[in-house]
Amino acid sequence: MGQRRALPAYRNDCYCNDWYEIWTMHVKWFNNGRYEKSWTALMGRHREFDVEKALDAALCVFWRKGYEGASYADLTQATGVERPGLYSAFGNKESLFGLALNRYYERYLDHFPKALLLPTAREVAAGVIYGAIDVNTRYPDHPGCLGINGIVAGSDEAEPVRQMLIEARAAGEALLRERFERAKAEGDLPETAKPDVLAAFVLTVIHGMAVQAKAGFSRDMLRAIAAQALSTWPTGRPGTSG
């Protein structure tokens, strides 16, 4: 495997302009860019079906059933493309999932980089959590989170996908940690605050709520849980902008 792209050095002077670029670098093409390359090649070929619609349909199947739960029969029925056509267009199931996951981050997790730009650490946490609730409850036929539904994969065959999702989660956690480190330096968070723990706390909350959304919890209940979780958020010095 080739060398992974490293996180750019954190620079306070261009904080607001770099977060979306860094987020994209980490979670959109986190696996050596191989899915990006395959998608570019795919779009350059003539196809007898709409590859955009087929990928959207596959995304919904993976979102609803997870990686291991989604069979080729499910994928062919949803996309309207037979198995040889799917393989020819997208590669194997792992490659198709990688493309679907990239699309999921692009289209459904845009609240995350937007939340990182909010002025206080608490607002950042709230933006991430409430944004996740919206995505997790937006579609009644596939509630929850694609990443969480997929990460429970347990077979040896699914291990590359599990690692893919773990890496994506780690990328998001790293961005939150860096944002909270800045907040602590600015006095928005108290000296006793631990940015790494706060970042892990936020992701633990949203991952737990994704599981509960999949189990049928309502949006109102999840928002009430979010409010309870955020009620414990530490505060910094009075009068700080953070």
Is residue 120 included in any domain, yes or no?
yes
pLDDT at 148: 87
The whole-angstrom separation of Cα 145 and Cα 135 is 7
Is residue 162 included in any domain, yes or no?
yes
**Which domain range does residue 129 map to?**
16-230
pLDDT at 178: 96
pLDDT at 238 over 70: no
Phi, psi of 32 (to 5 degrees): 65, 10
Q: How does the average pLDDT of the chain come out, rounded?
A: 83
Is residue 4 included in any domain, yes or no?
no
**Confidence bin at 61 (pLDDT 50/70/90):** very high
C-alpha Rg value of the chain to the nearest Å: 19
pLDDT at 104: 93
**Stretch 197-209: mean pLDDT, rounded?**
97
pLDDT at 5 over 60: no
CATH number assigned to the domain comprising residue 31 = 1.10.357.10
The pLDDT tens digits of the residues spanning 25-45 come to: 555 444 444 445 454 455 545
Is residue 11 included in any domain, yes or no?
no
The whole-angstrom separation of Cα 98 and Cα 161 is 8
If you ran DSSP here, which 8-state letter would residue 8 be given? P
Is residue 2 included in any domain, yes or no?
no
Is residue 136 included in any domain, yes or no?
yes
The whole-angstrom separation of Cα 49 and Cα 79 is 9
Place of tokens 């996951």: 101
The pLDDT tens digits of the residues spanning 90-144 come to: 999 999 999 999 999 989 999 999 999 999 999 999 999 999 999 999 999 999 9
Return the higher-pLDDT residue of 149 and 211: 211
pLDDT at 6: 40
Is residue 25 included in any domain, yes or no?
yes
The answer to whether 146 and 165 are in contact (CB under 8 A) is: no
Phi, psi of 35 (to 5 degrees): -75, -35
Is residue 241 included in any domain, yes or no?
no
**Confidence bin at 16 (pLDDT 50/70/90):** very low
Number of domains in the chain: 1
